[in-house]
Structure 1
Amino acid sequence: MHQLLPNITGLLNDVFTGITYFMPEAYLVLLFLVVMITDLVFGKRAVAYCRAIACAGLVIVLFKDLLQFGLVLNGWHLIFNHMLLLNRSSICFKSIIDLLALMLLLYFTWDKKLKAHSKGLADLYSIAIASVFGLHLMVMAVNLLSIYLAIEMVSIASYLMVAYRTENALSTEAGLKYVLFGAASSAIMLYGISLLYGFSGSLDLQAPAMIAQLLKVNSFSASFAVVLVLIGIGFKLSFVPVHFWVPDVYQGAPTPVTAWLSSLPKIAAFALVLNILPFVMPIGKAIGFDLTIVFAVISIVTMIAGNFAAVMQNNVKRMLAYSSIGHTGFALMAVIVHNPQSLSALTYYLLVYALANIGALALASYFSNVADAEDIEGYKGLGLKYPIASVCFTIILISLTGLPISAGFTGKLFVFSAVYNIYQQDSSIWLALLMITGALTTVVSLFYYIKIPLNLFLKRSENQDIEYRKSYNLIVLASIIAFVLILLGVFPNSILKYL
């Protein structure tokens, strides 16, 4: 204890200095407390208040995110004793997460099945804000301890969100499966972290002593520890072989929660990988473990498994779940290249994918609200009854496929360009296989995405007595998303220059 006393002043100064770079997260903590207290004070009447406070608070947090760009003009900052990293990339990812989270908070009450839940949605808003705080930590984490704590915070919030509709057996089952898979992956990751700490005596990935100590350890043992840590991160990315939970959880969770899980944690996990990759790659090379080849194999297998499995699905949410796995594999291509061009391409791709995915699931909620349609065959003949929603759905699916002139096309083009530029320099067989697999699976994705417009417009409904109903909020959201996807497809530099 006496040995630590001389260092206390320096540690406290480091904490106080770090708070300057931690203001959006401080506001999120305050927002969480305010939303939770509002729920306790107003009870069942608190839903509208919690929703308004959460949305207004996220707008303020987003503004604080944007102000942080002025703090990184001269480079990056390590805060809280090298626990978190603030740089331009992390601020971009935090801003995207907050913008999408704001959109999803509005979406929660527009899903009739979720809104009808007997205990209301006030708790869900406080859980969502806590999840956003964890996502911010994931985006900035560069220490093994902060990485684990951030992932666990997001995971616990996600478990609660998936099983929120406790009266629904499918939702409860999905929550249970998610908890079991999450607990297993968390234990595996913690074991890997403990091994790395035992081998090196440090949790700081940037510490020179870590590589020096790992070189003294059997290369297989060190590689095994790194793989265990990657499994924990891969659980959030949902790449093969840690993807088994995705279809059941996405199908069983309330549709707005599915939209949340398939976009925000995935973006944060990619940001986490980008943060730690510059430190992990040298460790891998030092112990004879080439992470580039590992990620290339994972990317190829994930693209193939996700897209081919999606072709066989009839449930819309389950199909989108498998397609999200395929998109994860495609986005990993940019991670493998890991240069400034690929970073911009990945950020753009994740933004437009998340927008399109949220739009697709919002329209899945819409057709569930108005026509009780859960499966693709239930969409038969609804194109003329609900033309605006059907046209927006088609545009969004075009973007998810990656066809011109959508933002999805430009996103995939940027990723292909980044990979091809590196391929021209070293002619790596792995990069060639990645590009070939990415192109072929894009063609495969057309076969399952086209099922929805095919049933909407070209097939007649077997039940002509469907009551004509509307859900205007979801129509407005889907229309805005469809317009933005076309706009970004035509003018990609309007957003790319800021990434």
Structure 2
Amino acid sequence: MNELQPYIHNLLNDTLTSLPLFKPELYISILFLLVLVTDLIFGKQSDWVCRILACAGLLFILTADLVQYATFRTQAPLLLFNNNLLLHHTATIQKLILDGLAFLLLLYLPWDENLKAHPKGLGDVYTIIIASLLGMHLMVMSATWLTIFLSVEMVSIASYLLVAYRSENAFSAEASLKYVLFGLASSAVMLYGISLIYGFTGTIELFDPLFVRNLLQVNPLSVGFALVLILAGLGFKLSFVPLHFWVPDVYQGAATPVTAYLSTLPKIAAFGLLINFLTPFISSTDWNVLDFRLAISAVAIVTLIAGNFAAIWQQNIKRMLAYSSIGHTGFALMAIVTFSAQGVTALNFYLLVYAIANLGALALVSFFANAVQAHTLHDYRGLGIKYPVASVSFVILLISLTGLPVSAGFNGKLLVFSAVYAVYQQNHSIILMLLLVTGAVTTVVSLFYYLKIPLNLFLKKPEDHQEGTIINKSLVTFCIVAAFVVLLLGIFPDYLGKFL
């Protein structure tokens, strides 16, 4: 027992030193408990109370994030809690993005009439999203295999609950079941890969100097197999090809705000985790087992092609946006393969502007579903004349998602292209040139399906639409603001770029 005392003493000291740097996560935990208890006390009448409490709490958490951001803008990365978490500048930026988007999502939730009409109310949804936010914070800071798996599972369980929350029809129930089964399978695959890597290295710490050194002593085929299994588990969260098969059905079957959640928050957190996962291998000059640049570039090319071309044939709006989300994943992977600070900055900018535009677009999907029960391209015919403000906002957001000039999406894609081209100039890699060409071609292809929506809104003959519930002015205002933001960041990208 005596020989353990110094170890325990050092462990406690490290924990106490780490706690002040863990404030945002502690605040999220407290907010989760407060919203949970409030929901239990007020029951079905708790929706508005939980919403106010959750939004106010997130503003408080954003303040703590800003303090961390200001600190780590110049400070070197720090390992916390006995090397289990890594706090650095990129992580603080991604936490700010995640918490800001979560705040917008909580505002949007009750404006979707289908979700609002759920007999259980929305108190549970607020609680689940806040709990998942803690998991996402841990994902972008994970520095050991233990924290990687636990954080991914925290977010996965929350996602399963949200997708299954609305299961009033057979398609929604089937989509939620498919998501859970595939999610469990991907978790098992990733855990098996983690167990192999731990067996090979004898350490769970990604940034342990022995980690890569010990891997290099193992048979390359075995190491490569284990790493592919881990990437497959992460790929399920990122929804890149060939692990994208769950996306169309789940995005279509889930409530629209849940689709907005799945296509933004967990994806951003997964990219943050992918950066941490790749860093030890990229930093090692001796690593030669698996060419991550080649592997991820090949995945990005296939994902760009499959996502964008499949979206062309879709008639359901949510299903179309699901395939486009897969295409955007491929584009974000382009920034990852640069393995450079410029690439990480481009990635953060791209993910933020994509998330704002996608969240606004899906909010407008809710608007048209609320107003006239419109769910397909055919249903959108002539609605541009009837709802001009919402329709013009939709067009602006789609322009940003496409990446056309004078939009934030254009600047995001330009930053990604610039980062990839800068690396190509250094090594003249053929795979990077193929990546650039594929990104440019698929951006043009995306025009063919994104423009179908304004085509039907403004140029097709109006249909006799079924009247829906009410026109939510708050939802329209939310979408107008989102459209204004993507235009503002398109004209003045430096307003955001200098902070990334």
TM-score range with shorter-chain normalisation?
over 0.9
In 2, Cα distance between the equivalents of 1:480 and 1:361? Answer: 14
In 1, Cα distance between the equivalents of 2:149 and 2:260? Answer: 24
> In structure 2, what is the equivalent of residue 99 of structure 1?
100
In 2, Cα distance between the equivalents of 1:249 and 1:285? Answer: 42
> In structure 2, what is the equivalent of residue 212 of structure 1?
213
- Is the 1:223–1:284 contact (alpha carbons within 8 Å) kept by the matching residues of 2? no
> In structure 2, what is the equivalent of residue 198 of structure 1?
199
CA drift at 1:70:
3.8
* Identical columns (%): 58
CA drift at 1:220:
0.1
In 2, Cα distance between the equivalents of 1:288 and 1:468? Answer: 59
CA drift at 1:96:
0.6
- Is the 2:370–2:469 contact (alpha carbons within 8 Å) kept by the matching residues of 1? no
- Is the 2:172–2:253 contact (alpha carbons within 8 Å) kept by the matching residues of 1? yes
> In structure 2, what is the equivalent of residue 4 of structure 1?
4
> Counterparts in 2 of 1:54-203, with a 5 A limit?
54-72=54-72, 73-203=74-204
TM-score (norm 1): 0.98
- Is the 2:402–2:450 contact (alpha carbons within 8 Å) kept by the matching residues of 1? yes
Deviations 1:305-359 (CA, angstroms, capped at 9, x unpaired): 0000000100000000000000000111110002121111111100000000001
Q: Report the 3-state secondary structure (helix = DSSP H, G, I; strand = E; otherwise coil) of the residue aligned with 1:4.
A: helix
Tell me: CA distance 1:458–1:296, structure 2 relative to 1, closer, same or farther (3 Å). Answer: same
Tell me: CA distance 1:284–1:196, structure 2 relative to 1, closer, same or farther (3 Å). Answer: farther
> Counterparts in 2 of 1:324-343, with a 5 A limit?
324-343=325-344
> In structure 2, what is the equivalent of residue 40 of structure 1?
40
Q: Report the 3-state secondary structure (helix = DSSP H, G, I; strand = E; otherwise coil) of the residue aligned with 2:382.
A: coil
For 2:410, the aligned partner's letter is: F
CA drift at 1:185:
0.4
Q: Report the 3-state secondary structure (helix = DSSP H, G, I; strand = E; otherwise coil) of the residue aligned with 2:118.
A: coil
CA drift at 1:467:
6.8
Deviations 1:9-53 (CA, angstroms, capped at 9, x unpaired): 100111111111100000000000000000111111111111110
Tell me: CA distance 1:221–1:283, structure 2 relative to 1, closer, same or farther (3 Å). Answer: farther
CA drift at 1:469:
4.9
For 1:43, the aligned partner's letter is: G
Q: Report the 3-state secondary structure (helix = DSSP H, G, I; strand = E; otherwise coil) of the residue aligned with 2:337.
A: helix
- Is the 1:171–1:253 contact (alpha carbons within 8 Å) kept by the matching residues of 2? yes
Tell me: CA distance 1:464–1:125, structure 2 relative to 1, closer, same or farther (3 Å). Answer: closer
> Counterparts in 2 of 1:420-459, with a 5 A limit?
420-459=421-460
In 1, Cα distance between the equivalents of 2:58 and 2:295? Answer: 37
Deviations 1:385-429 (CA, angstroms, capped at 9, x unpaired): 000000000000000000011110111011111111111121110
CA drift at 1:287:
4.8
How many residues end up aligned between the 2 structures?
499
Asked if residue 15 in structure 1 is aligned to residue 15 in structure 2, the reply is yes
> In structure 2, what is the equivalent of residue 394 of structure 1?
395
Q: Report the 3-state secondary structure (helix = DSSP H, G, I; strand = E; otherwise coil) of the residue aligned with 2:86.
A: strand
- Is the 1:136–1:268 contact (alpha carbons within 8 Å) kept by the matching residues of 2? yes
> In structure 2, what is the equivalent of residue 265 of structure 1?
266
Q: Report the 3-state secondary structure (helix = DSSP H, G, I; strand = E; otherwise coil) of the residue aligned with 1:78.
A: strand
- Is the 2:212–2:280 contact (alpha carbons within 8 Å) kept by the matching residues of 1? no
> In structure 1, what is the equivalent of residue 356 of structure 2?
355
Tell me: CA distance 1:331–1:454, structure 2 relative to 1, closer, same or farther (3 Å). Answer: same
CA drift at 1:284:
10
- Is the 2:268–2:351 contact (alpha carbons within 8 Å) kept by the matching residues of 1? yes
CA drift at 1:202:
0.6
Q: Report the 3-state secondary structure (helix = DSSP H, G, I; strand = E; otherwise coil) of the residue aligned with 2:447.
A: helix
- Is the 1:385–1:468 contact (alpha carbons within 8 Å) kept by the matching residues of 2? no
Tell me: CA distance 1:215–1:467, structure 2 relative to 1, closer, same or farther (3 Å). Answer: closer
Q: Report the 3-state secondary structure (helix = DSSP H, G, I; strand = E; otherwise coil) of the residue aligned with 2:59.
A: helix
- Is the 1:406–1:485 contact (alpha carbons within 8 Å) kept by the matching residues of 2? yes
For 1:415, the aligned partner's letter is: V
- Is the 2:32–2:131 contact (alpha carbons within 8 Å) kept by the matching residues of 1? yes
In 1, Cα distance between the equivalents of 2:231 and 2:485? Answer: 34
Deviates more, 1:297-306 or 1:414-423: 414-423
Q: Report the 3-state secondary structure (helix = DSSP H, G, I; strand = E; otherwise coil) of the residue aligned with 1:74.
A: coil
In 2, Cα distance between the equivalents of 1:283 and 1:144? Answer: 19
> In structure 2, what is the equivalent of residue 318 of structure 1?
319
In 2, Cα distance between the equivalents of 1:236 and 1:31? Answer: 25
Tell me: CA distance 1:168–1:2, structure 2 relative to 1, closer, same or farther (3 Å). Answer: farther
In 1, Cα distance between the equivalents of 2:377 and 2:470? Answer: 19
For 1:118, the aligned partner's letter is: P
CA drift at 1:436:
0.2
Deviates more, 1:266-275 or 1:91-100: 266-275
Question: Can you give the 5+ residue segments of structure 1 that lack an aligned partner in the other structure?
Answer: none
In 2, Cα distance between the equivalents of 1:452 and 1:152? Answer: 36
Asked if residue 476 in structure 1 is aligned to residue 456 in structure 2, the reply is no
